[in-house]
Amino acid sequence: MGGTFDPIHLGHLIAAETARQQCGLHEVWFIPSCGPPLKSDEPGVSSQRRFEMVCGAIESNAAFRALDIELLRGGVSYSYDTVTELQRRYPRNSFSYIIGSDRINDLPQWYKIEQLAKYITFIGLERPSDPILIEMLPSYLKERITLIQMPAIDISSTAIRGKVSEGQSVQYLVPDSVLSYIRRYSLYES
């Protein structure tokens, strides 16, 4: 599961656990991106802080793991490069990419998507507010996507950053460890 995780929130964790249970995944690896290619805005806090928040958020779930592979590589984070590296490091593992419905519709724009689709499957989290236009995708992608239902949770990192910036509470939107971290380092304050 990739993303900027700026910050990681309960929606991310619920999505990961939902995918793990419904698809029978052994583990879910959280991979914070250094610079996402399809987003125009830069992460609000450093990669090290985002990685530390992810580690704190997932520490109570033995099936969750954080990897800093993209952060160490630096630059724009392409999923193709990450998956290629993961397959080199873990040749006995098979990989799926957990992805929100908003990103599934963007898949045809991804870097080397045809090659990437040969190596992994995508677990698409359907959200009622963001319909997946599966019929609009090329056939090589359609056959590599497993759709699962995501609980309706309207939480976003953007909204969390905005609330913190405005001095509003984000308690119960992020794990307690992330809330403490945000407060300790005065993250996202204006």
Among 70, 121, 76, 118, which residue's Cα sits nearest to residue 98? 121
d(CA 25, CA 19): 7
The alpha carbon torsion through 166, 170, 176, 182 (nearest 10 deg) reads -20
CA distances from 94 to 28, 68, 90, 97, 186 (A): 12, 19, 9, 10, 39
d(CA 159, CA 118): 35
What is the reported pTM? 0.91
pLDDT for 101 equals 80
10-residue mean pLDDT series, the chain (190 residues)? 95 96 97 75 83 98 97 91 96 95 88 96 84 85 91 88 97 97 95
pLDDT for 39 equals 61
Cβ atoms of 105 and 141 within 8 Å: the answer is no
Q: Largest Cα–Cα distance of the chain, in whole Å?
A: 48
pLDDT for 110 equals 95
pLDDT for 132 equals 76
Q: Which two structure tokens, joined as six digits, stand for 119?
A: 């190596």
pLDDT for 184 equals 97
Among 174, 172, 168, which residue's Cα sits nearest to residue 189? 168
